[in-house]
Amino acid sequence: MPIASTSSYTKVQYLQRQAASLLLYQSVLQGEVGMAFLELLQAIRYTDADARGCLQAYGSYFHALAAKNQNWEDYLITQILFSDNPFTKLAQVQEFEDLPPAIVAAVRHDLQVLQSLYECSSASLSEWIQGVAHMPISPVVWYKEQELVGGETFATYLQELDNWGDAVEELAAYYRQCGSGLFAEYRALRWQAGQFIGIRYSDPIKLSALVGYESQKDALLKNTEFLLSGEMALHVLLYGSRGSGKSSLVKSLLNEYSNRSLRLLEVAKSDLKDLPKIVEHLRGVSQKFIIFVDDLSFEEDDDAFKALKVVLEGNLTARPQNVVVYATSNRRHLIREFFVDRPTPKDNEEIHAWDTMQEKLSFSDRFGLTLTFEPADQKTYLKIVQHLAKQAEINITQEDLEFQALQWATRHNGRSGRTARQFVDFLKADLRLFGTKNNAPSN
């Protein structure tokens, strides 16, 4: 049974001093795993350390790694790649030669520190715990096959480097290409309570699953290519009947282009008042952003209306080329109009009331591109059903499929892409579980 040596305690205390000396990458150790690591070092730093406290600290460290499903080494590199600090932000917008020398020196120092922490493996910690607690065997070591989220090429380069301090320029190039922080970690995000929230499990809908509305799809894809190529893309309004696939089409862009640094940012109508602030946050970031606003409509004197108008029309601040707004709506005129709103010649009425009303009603024209989605006719509906059924590998006759699909549309929500998807999902489960070809049931 190994006995904890004086050199072990000296090593632990050295690692604590190293961790405390981080200048820019403190966030690497501020997550649950990082805090558990630091608390474990604190527990075993003295020769008279409490064995029970050390074992509990090791248990917390093991639990944190298991919850993340990462090794300590993988976790540390992942945190470096996703870190959001002054260096990562400057590296995205400035050439390496133009970065302040003090920033570069600080990063070199921090990388050397993080390398020393990286080399403190879970196996070593387990052995130290065995010595401190006078255990016959060392505690179980958390381990799994290496699996980094993003940045695999750079991570491999870093792991093979003798001195991480030599990687500053390469790290700057990585941030310039891939970004940092939440925008590097997540493909889809939402703006909520004044901050960006990462969406870990985004909608998996693929472009290949969407049939019909080919001209609208082509126009949206072309505009998105403009955005990804650094050209000035247009803001887009997708208008049309419910269930026609407007939202699905926008979401599918993420799965089509996320490997080209596209990010989808969902903003609820209630948060549109923050839109100018959101756009400024995204300015200068290396990724390209589609701000997605679903089911858009306004009431009169809505603050959201004014905020969106500023973003669509612009102001003295230049519009960033990496941000575009894609909005869906079931209303062609986005602001509700009542007959009572129509101007009549009365005393104390606004003189140019018709101009004011027309400004409100023509708000949709402020989008550079409007794509219209008409209700699906029977031919289009059946085409969508056939396409989805083929993808789902549903093996029934075309005649039987069409008959059941039309019955489903009659009994449910009418003919639309959404109805087709619901029908195929139901039919697939029905055939798999019961092997029945009976007509789709009514409500």
Whole-number pLDDT of residue 149:
54
Label residue 82 exposed, middle or buried (CB < 10 Å: 0-12, 13-18, 19+). buried
- Residue 58 to residue 289: CA distance in whole angstroms: 42
Q: What is the share, in percent, of the chain residues with pLDDT greater than 70?
A: 85
Q: What is the pTM of this model?
A: 0.79
How confident is the model over 345-386, as pLDDT tens digits? 554 454 444 344 444 445 667 788 999 888 888 888 899 999
How confident is the model over 190-213, as pLDDT tens digits? 999 999 999 998 999 988 888 888
Domain ranges of the chain: 3-143+154-178, 188-338+348-370, 378-435
pLDDT band of 314, cuts 50, 70, 90:
low
The backbone torsions φ and ψ at residue 239, rounded to the nearest 5 degrees and listed phi first, read -115, 140
Task: State yes or no: pLDDT of 337 exceeds 50.
Answer: no
- Residue 233 to residue 217: CA distance in whole angstroms: 15
Whole-number pLDDT of residue 338:
43
CATH superfamily of 188-338+348-370: P-loop containing nucleotide triphosphate hydrolases (3.40.50.300)
How confident is the model over 230-255, as pLDDT tens digits? 999 999 999 887 888 899 999 999 99
pLDDT band of 272, cuts 50, 70, 90:
confident
Which residue has 């640094």 as its token pair?
261
Q: Which DSSP letter does residue 373 get?
A: E
Task: State yes or no: pLDDT of 286 exceeds 80.
Answer: yes
How confident is the model over 137-182, as pLDDT tens digits? 999 999 887 665 556 788 888 888 999 999 999 999 999 888 889 9
* Mean pLDDT on 254-280: 91
More confident of the two residues 298 and 221:
221
pLDDT band of 443, cuts 50, 70, 90:
very low
The pair of three-digit structure tokens given for residue 64, joined into one six-digit string:
């944190």
Whole-number pLDDT of residue 148:
55
Q: Which DSSP letter does residue 370 get?
A: E
Lowest mean pLDDT of 269-283, 319-333, 346-360, name the range. 346-360
Which residue pairs from 165-169 have beta carbons closer than 8 angstroms and sit at least 24 positions apart in sequence? 165/108, 165/109, 165/111, 165/112, 165/115, 167/111, 168/104, 168/107, 168/108, 168/111, 169/96
The pair of three-digit structure tokens given for residue 422, joined into one six-digit string:
């619901």
How confident is the model over 50-60, as pLDDT tens digits? 889 999 999 99
The residues with which 262 forms a beta bridge, in sequence order, are: 288
Whole-number pLDDT of residue 400:
92
Q: What is the share, in percent, of the chain residues with pLDDT greater than 90?
A: 51
How confident is the model over 111-142, as pLDDT tens digits? 999 999 999 999 999 998 988 888 899 999 99
How confident is the model over 378-432, as pLDDT tens digits? 888 899 999 999 988 998 998 999 999 999 988 887 888 889 989 999 999 988 8
Task: State yes or no: pLDDT of 88 exceeds 90.
Answer: yes
Whole-number pLDDT of residue 316:
56
The residues with which 264 forms a beta bridge, in sequence order, are: 188, 290
How confident is the model over 15-61, as pLDDT tens digits? 999 999 999 999 999 999 999 999 999 998 877 778 899 999 999 99
